[in-house]
């Protein structure tokens, strides 16, 4: 298990991040690619339209140093978004899933 996976597990257990079952998402459609992987839109049960931001697949051909850098950047971005998710111009982080 990577350090970022351990960090995510701890944050879920501490209820800092909400975990969503992947089967709660429907009508998933890719809308772009970002630094961590792809970005999709989807419907979340009882919530409506949401954006899904995917990790780069750990089994891809990315060098370990690059994967560690992406992990660090993801953690920093997630922490920052959690701090400012009250602002109307910032996308709120609802939680995390695994699909």
Burial (CB count <10 Å: 0-12, 13-18, 19+), residue 71: buried
Whole-angstrom Cα distance, residue 99 to residue 87? 29
Q: Does 53 belong to an annotated binding site?
A: yes
Q: Return binding residues for ATP.
A: 53
Q: Which residues are annotated as a binding site?
A: 53
């Amino acid at each position: 298990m990577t350090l970022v996976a351990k960090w995510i597990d701890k944050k879920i257990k501490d209820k800092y991040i909400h975990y969503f079952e992947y089967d709660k998402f429907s009508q998933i459609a890719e809308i772009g690619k970002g630094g961590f992987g792809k970005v999709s839109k989807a419907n979340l049960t009882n919530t409506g339209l949401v954006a899904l931001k995917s990790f780069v697949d750990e089994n891809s051909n990315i060098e370990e140093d690059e994967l560690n850098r992406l992990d660090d950047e993801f953690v920093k971005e997630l922490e920052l978004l959690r701090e400012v998710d009250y602002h109307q111009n910032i996308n709120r982080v609802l939680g995390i899933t695994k699909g």
